[in-house]
Structure 1
Amino acid sequence: MPTPPLEPRPGTPRWLLRIVVVTALVGVGAGIGGAVVYLGLHTLQHLAFGYSEGTFYEGLLEAPPANRVIALAVAGVIGGVGWWGLRAWGRRSPANAVVSVEQAVDGRRMPAVATLANAALQIVIVGLGASIGREVAPREIAALWADWLTRKAGVTARERRILVACGAGAGLAAVYSVPLGGAVFAVEILLAELSFATVLPAFAVSAVGALVARLVVPVNPLYVMPQVKLTPSILVFSVIAGPLFGFAAVAFVRLARYAQARRPTSWGIVIVMPLVFTAVGVASLWLPGILGNGRALGQLSLAASLPVLIILVTTVVKTGATVATIGAGAAGGTLTPSLAIGAGLGLATGSLWAELWPGSALPGFALLGAAAFLAVSMRAPLTGLVLVIEFTNQGPQLLAPLMLCIAGAVVVGYLLERQGVTGVA
């Protein structure tokens, strides 16, 4: 019997070469996956609402209002039937059940067909206007690629765990063009380990993924807003409002978890999802900003481009629409919905504060709310801070109030979790 080849030992040139090649390929795959998600999403949006230029929100306003209801109803039917079939298949054949990114990082093998089908359904419903985040799909596709590649390459279990997490972070980096945010997401949330062994591959994989996706994904900031200057008013507001945003974010997380725990588990999803999605479509006849993954509401809030009362009402309805979408059985993320809700609350509370202490630009308050709310909902202060900065291309002037606001919000989330009121994640 032939002797099996010896595996390269850590620290040897052969081992280093293999790790470098696998790391680079994980990043390339994540970038391609992110680019595919971006193209698929935007193609569906343009087809559904009949616009060729401008933002999703501008396309909604230009399209006949009935298109919103029709698109959401179609999304509900496709999502309901698709997830019913996918989850029924997983129950009959556990090896084909959908495996989350977190489970893959912990060592579970991701089934290719189920993972790609789950990601495709997310892209379809978000592209048609469903009120849920799009960021889970590129993370799942990238993690699937990293899982397969690392198993084929024969790396150690620890190396595979790190590269799968880095691949998922790179998927996020690719679809939003946020290389640092994707790396920090992998290290802080998926790995929860700050070391050379995690930071270096996270940086490399996210950088490669973002660079590859740049062939398709625009490199301009996701949200356009003026550069906000630091003022004493904003600084004091960040200290006072941080805990308030923390309470609001904890409430949102509890609602989302409550809804997810009670979502249909069998054929009921075929009925519930179309009804819920159609209701959201009807509500969008008056408030189009509730549709999509949250970018529309986030942009309106961060630019303060509508009256504050309208944005506040849209924020409340968007919260209900997102929770209802989760409760209807849809898979997806809450990253951009959380940012949008936080920005809307920040703008509303900031407008009241500006009456007491004028002189600060309203978008600055929206930015503080977005960062604090996102940090608590993700349970990741560093990721929340970095993502908001990369999303908006804000300079260092607001770093201090952003950090203070996030700290106050996260402390509230932590204390509530310790007291057993909720488990923020």
Structure 2
Amino acid sequence: MISFQGVIYGLQRWAALLLTGILAGLGGMLLAMLLHEIQHLTWGYSQNLLISPQTFLQGVTDASAQRRFLVLVAAGMVAGCGWWLLARYGKKRVSISAAVNDASKPMPALTTLVHILLQIVTVAMGSPLGREVAPREAGALFAGGVARRLHLTSADIQLMTACGAGAGLAAVYNVPLAGAIFTLEVLLVSFSRDAALAALVTSALAAWVASLGLGDEHQYHFTAEFAATSLIFWGILCGPLLGAMACLFRRLTQYASSKVQDNWQMPVISLAAFTLLGICAIWFPQLPGNGKGAAQLALSGEISATLAAMLLVLKVFLICAVIRGGAAGGLLTPGLAVGGLLGSLLFLIVGPLFPGSDMESFALLGAAGFLAASAHMPVTTLALVMESTRMDHSFLVPVALCITGAWATCRVLERRR
């Protein structure tokens, strides 16, 4: 028979799950709203609407060349000085993975909150890194705090922390299934019925709570109606190539991250990196921001070969540059952008060999395969691409084949290092 203490603990556990989902959803919603507000103020567009139909890319494009340069220089000062001061005076940061792996290492509240705000501010001002790490950290921080207040076991504290991070991802991008799978595949690296149920409940609840303020929108507008049969063969062929490019991207970003030093170099290099981004943005307004604008151009088939090649090279270089300068952020949306641009270029080269295919479809496969390999999360990527583009079901097979080939190739290349 179930003891009275067992019933009470079960209720505490369910309370922790529900609070994790609600708090992660609120955190993701408020951080997204803060991001939009800073974007509108700094770039001077849609200042009367918090949730605006005008995109960030449109806002940057409409801004003057001088404004683009000055805003990005200011972003470099905020990033360099902010993270240098945080490293010098704040407590040592505890990553989400470290908190999930060891319940005795809680994320320090003040340091984590400052780290989160720095990411949101710099991404809003044009950092080429992603915004998804901030809501994941917020969700993990809240979830860990709730679990400890409710006196859950160490194993359940780890589970709630992981669920909070996945729910934060679900909230900010409105991808409840991808958020749940991310919890299991990337953070817990395991699957059980209880963990799957917890991940699904928290991610679904967080996505719903966030949608009350942000609306029920998907991130990308994918215009291809259905997948041509030839796309299956292209998915098989392009997977290894995307995996090799993703492996190179991982090496570059890891090398840049390994060279970061918490001293006077951080503000200097950060300012130099963002200044270079500001100079490039004068001619290429698609470069500032987390890459959503560039990815959308690729997924809409509205990009030329010259522009795609220039954006691809500059995007990768600038991502590595700001990471070297000490800026923090995610590589999810940037990975989608780089992969989408690469897919567009490949279509312009070999597209005519695949009857019925189009640039949008090639870009979709490029984005999915590259992200799956570069982030080492194939199943999460499949769900993420499905939810964020609302692609037709006919794309499921070619995207899955592409992801499999890319991820497997990247793993093989890394093991040979």
TM-score (norm 2): 0.95
What is the distance in 2 between the residues matched to 1:282 and 1:358?
40
Match of 2:248 among 247, 251, 254: 251
Letter of the 1:323 partner, please give it: C
Match of 1:141 in 2: 138
Aligned-pair CA distance for 1:181: 0.8
What is the distance in 1 between the residues matched to 2:21 and 2:4?
22
Match of 1:56 in 2: 56
What is the distance in 2 between the residues matched to 1:166 and 1:8?
27
Match of 2:263 among 244, 262, 266: 266
Contact preservation (8 Å) 1:300, 1:311: no
Question: Residue 86 in 1 paired to residue 83 in 2?
Answer: no
Letter of the 2:85 partner, please give it: G
Match of 2:39 in 1: 45
Note the alpha carbon deviations across 1:286-317, whole angstroms, 9 max, x for none.
11111101101111111111213212211211
Contact preservation (8 Å) 1:228, 1:363: no
Report the secondary structure of 1:285's partner residue.
helix
Aligned-pair CA distance for 1:318: 0.7
Match of 1:168 among 165, 169, 194: 165
Match of 2:415 in 1: 418
Match of 2:77 in 1: 77
What is the distance in 2 between the residues matched to 1:392 and 1:110?
33
Match of 1:311 in 2: 308
Coordinate RMSD, CA, aligned: 1.3
1:371-382, aligned counterparts within 5 Å?
371-382=368-379
Q: Structure 1 runs of 4+ off > 2 angstroms?
A: 355-359
What is the distance in 1 between the residues matched to 2:339 and 2:160?
32
Unpaired segments ≥5 residues, structure 1: 1-6, 91-95
Note the alpha carbon deviations across 1:161-197, whole angstroms, 9 max, x for none.
1110000000011011111111111110000111112
Note the alpha carbon deviations across 1:262-289, whole angstroms, 9 max, x for none.
1232121121111110111111111111
Aligned-pair CA distance for 1:227: 3.5
Aligned-pair CA distance for 1:418: 2.1
What is the distance in 2 between the residues matched to 1:264 and 1:158?
34
Match of 1:101 among 92, 96, 111: 96
Match of 1:198 in 2: 195
What is the distance in 2 between the residues matched to 1:216 and 1:361?
35
Contact preservation (8 Å) 1:335, 1:374: yes
What is the distance in 2 between the residues matched to 1:41 and 1:174?
14
What is the distance in 2 between the residues matched to 1:304 and 1:406?
21
Contact preservation (8 Å) 1:297, 1:315: no
Aligned-pair CA distance for 1:357: 3.0
Aligned-pair CA distance for 1:230: 2.1
Report the secondary structure of 2:213's partner residue.
coil
What is the distance in 1 between the residues matched to 2:265 and 2:4?
52
Letter of the 1:240 partner, please give it: L
Match of 2:49 in 1: none
What is the distance in 2 between the residues matched to 1:382 and 1:405?
12
Report the secondary structure of 1:250's partner residue.
helix
Note the alpha carbon deviations across 1:209-262, whole angstroms, 9 max, x for none.
111111222322101121342223211111110000000001001000000001
Report the secondary structure of 1:159's partner residue.
helix
What is the distance in 1 between the residues matched to 2:9 and 2:273?
52
1:358-397, aligned counterparts within 5 Å?
358-397=355-394
Match of 2:233 in 1: 236
Q: Which moved more, 1:202-211 or 1:228-237?
A: 228-237
Aligned-pair CA distance for 1:8: 6.5
Contact preservation (8 Å) 2:269, 2:324: no
Aligned-pair CA distance for 1:15: 2.1
What is the distance in 2 between the residues matched to 1:187 and 1:65?
44
Match of 2:327 in 1: 330
Match of 2:286 in 1: 289
Distance 1:265 1:294, change over 3 A: same
Report the secondary structure of 1:215's partner residue.
helix
Aligned-pair CA distance for 1:395: 2.1
Aligned-pair CA distance for 1:49: 1.0
Q: Which moved more, 1:154-163 or 1:218-227?
A: 218-227
Q: Which moved more, 1:241-250 or 1:279-288?
A: 279-288
How many residue pairs end up in the alignment? 407
